[in-house]
Each structure stands twice: as C-alpha cells, then as structure tokens.
Structure 1
Amino acid sequence: MTVVGRRERKKLATRAALRETALRLALRHGVEHVTVEQIAAETDIAVRTFFNYFSSKEEAMVAAVAAEADALIGEFRGRPRDEPVLRALREAVAHVMAVSDTEALRLIVRAPSLLPQRLAVYATREKALAEAIADRLGLSPDDLYPAVCAATALTAMRVVLERWLDQPADHAALREQTEEVIGLLAAGLERRLP
C-alpha cells in the first residue's frame, strides 16, 4: 500500500474541489456559461493555480468521468482473481454506478463541447483497463486479448451508460442493460439471420 504524503493529499483535495466546483457551476449555469475565473474564485484559488491542475474548464468538468473510470478499474482489480474477466467487469460497473452522480454524468454526456475531453479520458482509461486485464490473466500488456477486451468492454459500457442516462435514473435498469451487454460480449456478438 502506498502512503500518500500531506502535500500530495492537499494536491488531490484541490483537484477534487476544482472538479466538483466546475461541475456544480456547469449544472447551475450550463457548460458554456462557466469560466475558469468563476471556478477558481468559487474554489478560492488563483486562476494560475487552476492551470496547474487542468488545461481547461472542460477538462475539469470531465475529470469526474476520469475519476469514475479510475474507480471502475480499481474495483476490477479488487475482484477475486478467479472470477472471469467479463463477470469482474460487470460487478465493478455495478458497484461504481451505484454511487455515481447521475445528474453530473448526464451533463457531461450531453454537452457537445465536452466530447473531445471525454474521448481522451476513454482512451487513457482503456489502456489502464487493458493493463489490469493483462495482470489478472498473467498476460503480457502487448498481448492482443487485453487490449481488445478493454476496448470492446468500455465501448459497450459507454453505449449502455449513454442510453441509460436518457431515461429516469433507475439502477435496476442499468444493471439489466449491463447484464445484457456483457452477455452479448461473452457470446462473441455472433448473430445470424433467422
């Protein structure tokens, strides 16, 4: 277990405060009407300090997605080693989504100006998940299976999440849709015409 020093804890707390403030302001005023200056003022830091943590207001807002993806990967890594990859992913998703801020996720997914940052988060977390899958299976990170599995699973979960966010928040429905998409992946997506 890594011990985090006081200075690092303060930096993490400031980053989290900036992320939460950016989202709170975006929920209140809309993404386009929030400025870096407002986020910094609400967090009681200098604008220059803001840029030590994030390159833009959009990156700060999407940091919630990055935090959730990191939580998902952490949950996946914490699952029993003998559990199959797709089951471990399903359980990790269910755990993380049960405590997610649905309103903030809806804002992030629906704001077109946040799409480039969301895609960047997905790309970096896809690589991290592939590494976690490789570790779980004792494979080299260069093997094809972990990369394909991570890319496919995260894309499938993104589709489920975006569809789910278009409906009233119902975690049972999210669980059902997650089960369905994991089932599709497990079956290999093979379908034939009747």
Structure 2
Amino acid sequence: MPEIPPGLSLRERKKFETHRTLARAAVRLVAEHGLDKVTVDDIAAAAGVSVRTFFNYFASKDDAVVIAYPDRDERTVAVVEALLAAPPEVSTMRALLDALDDDFSRIEENREEWLARMSIFEQNLHLVSRMMVAQAESERQLVEAIARRSGCDAQKDFYPMLLFSLLGAGMSAAIRRWHALGGHGSLRELLNEAMDAVANGLPEPH
C-alpha cells in the first residue's frame, strides 16, 4: 500500500508526512543512542522541525517511537468495515486477518524502521505497555466488530475477546519471529502460519 493513504488533502498529506518524519527520526536516534540519551530536541532537529511542532504531534518521545502512523483511527474503521463486509462463508479469524493485511504490508514496506522499533521495544519494555494503551480504543472497536459478525454480545460472551486475544498473541509471535529472522521472509506468511496452528488446535510438533 502507498505510504500516504489516497484521498488526503494537501494539508492532511503534509501532516501525515511530518508525523512519519518525526517517528522515523525518533526510531533511528533511539536505535543508535538509546532511549535515555535521546531528547525531544534531538528528534525535532533530526526531523527539521521545531520542538513546538513536535508537541503538536506527540506528547512525548516515547509516543514518537510507539505511534508509527497518524491514521490509527481511520485504519481501525477500515478494518472494521472490511471485517463486517467479508462473505459469511469466510471464518471470522480469516476475515480479520484479511482485513489487517494492509497494516502488515506497511510493516514489511518499512522493514528497517520496524526491525529497529522491535529492538527498541525489547530493550525498553515499558514502551510495550504504552503501545497497548495507545491501541486500547482500536481493540474495543475490533472486539465489538467480532461480536457483531459472530452474533455475540461483546460484554457477555467470551468468544469476541478470546478471538481477538488469540489473534493478538499470534501477531506478537509472528512479529517477534520475523524480528529474530532479521526481517527475512514474509511477515504475513508467518502470521498465517501462527493462526493456522491456532485454528487447528495448536497440535504438538512432531
């Protein structure tokens, strides 16, 4: 998929580009020097913007590392719509994987940035918690969409959250495996392999 989503106005395109420039600069500097040794001033200077502009996009340097893209809300809406529009004969798990395909394409197309980001996460575990907080609203919407598609109640039934949690675990395992392999191979194939194993009851390896 293109780095900048189609259909944006010139102003929106510039905001998207600035966000991405800051996020990439943050990841590069932190990967090179360590999180504690990088300041907001450093990131802003590397991105060619003022500190004031930095804070128009991020609340902290942690957020600049964690929040890679500015269109999280729009992507969540697109994933929900794709999930709910999937043919009924397609399993909910497969429909959700297909709906997330563009997100994994973004990661693979920005391989070096994401490999560096994953290394930073491994060295600064509190950033994983920050990422979970940032994704909380998206998670809620996706769980509700799973419930709608499967005819469940997101508040009362176990299935929607369980499926989402299984997918999250599969995504985490696939990304960590991809990172361990140095980004070689297809991240999406690793995810498919992980979720196929889950769908088949996670059989013992021979």
TM-score, structure 1 normalization: 0.73
User: Corresponding residue for 2:86?
Assistant: 81
Pairing 1:52–2:56 present: yes
**Identity within the alignment, %:** 31
**1:171 is aligned to 2:189:** no
> Within 5 A, what are the aligned runs for 1:73-152?
74-75=78-79, 77-78=81-82, 80-82=85-87, 83-100=90-107, 101-111=110-120, 112-113=123-124, 114-137=127-150, 139-144=152-157, 145-152=159-166
The answer to whether the 8 A contact 1:126-1:151 is kept is: no
Residues 178 and 185 in structure 2, CA contact (< 8 A), matched pair in contact too: no
Secondary structure (helix, strand or coil) at the match of 1:64 reads coil
| Structure 2 partner of 1:154 | 168
Rounded to whole Å, the distance in 1 between the matches of 2:116 and 2:77 is: 23
Residues 1:68 and 1:165: Cα distance change in structure 2 (over 3 Å):
farther
Change (3 A) 1:88 1:50: same
- The residue number in structure 2 matching 1:15 is 19
CA pair 69-98 structure 1, distance change in 2 beyond 3 A: farther
Q: What is the RMSD of the two structures over their aligned residues, measured on CA atoms?
A: 3.5
Can you give the 5+ residue segments of structure 2 that lack an aligned partner in the other structure?
Answer: 1-6
Q: Render the CA deviation track for 1:32-73: whole Å, top value 9, x for unaligned.
A: 432100122233433233223222111111112786897477
C-alpha distance in 2 between matches for 1:181 and 1:86: 12
Task: Decide which structure has greater helix share.
Answer: 1
Distance across 1 between alignment mates of 2:181 and 2:77:
26
- Structure 2 CA distance, aligned partners of 1:120 and 1:146? 19
| Alpha carbons 2:16, 2:70 under 8 Å: kept | no
The 10-residue stretch of structure 1 (154-163 or 76-85) with the greater mean CA deviation from structure 2: 76-85
Residue type matched to 1:33 in 2?
K
Paired letter, 1:169: G
Could you report, residue by residue, the CA deviation over 1:95-142 in whole angstroms, capped at 9, with x for unpaired residues?
A: 432342222222222223233323324544322321332343454443
How many angstroms apart in 1 are the aligned matches of 2:142 and 2:136?
10
